[in-house]
Structure 1
Amino acid sequence: MFCSRVSILAIAMITVSSTIALAKPTLLSRQVIAQTPTSVPQTNGAKSGGWLKDLNLTSQQLQQIKQIHNQSKQQIAEKSQVIRQEQQELHDLIAGTATKGQVLSKYNQIKLVKQQLADVQFENTLAIREILNPEQRLKFADRMYKKNHPH
Structure 2
Amino acid sequence: MFNERIYAQTDGEVETIILQLGLTDEQIAQLYQVDRQFSPKLDELYPAWNQAQEELEVLIRSEDASESEVRKKYEEVESLRRQVSELQFERRMAIREILRPEQRLPYEEYIEQRIAESDS
TM class, shorter-chain normalised? 0.7 to 0.9
Going by fraction, where is helix more abundant, 1 or 2? 2
Secondary structure of the structure 1 residue equivalent to 2:23:
coil
Aligned mates of 1:123, 1:3 — CA distance in 2: 28
Consecutive unaligned residues of structure 1, counting only runs of 5 or more, are 8-45
* 2:93 alignment counterpart: 126
Aligned mates of 1:56, 1:140 — CA distance in 2: 11
* 2:39 alignment counterpart: 73
Consecutive unaligned residues of structure 2, counting only runs of 5 or more, are none
Deviation at 1:47, TM superposition (A): 5.0
Deviation at 1:86, TM superposition (A): 1.4
Aligned mates of 1:95, 1:49 — CA distance in 2: 46
Secondary structure of the structure 1 residue equivalent to 2:22:
coil
1:53 equivalent to 2:25? Answer: no
**CA gap 1:70/1:111 in 2 versus in 1, 3 angstroms:** same
Q: 1:98 aligns with which of 65, 78, 85?
A: 65
**CA gap 1:73/1:93 in 2 versus in 1, 3 angstroms:** same
Identity of aligned residues (%): 30
Q: Which has the larger radius of gyration?
A: 2
Aligned mates of 2:113, 2:67 — CA distance in 1: 38
* Higher normalized contact order (CA 8 Å, seq sep 6+, divided by chain length): 1
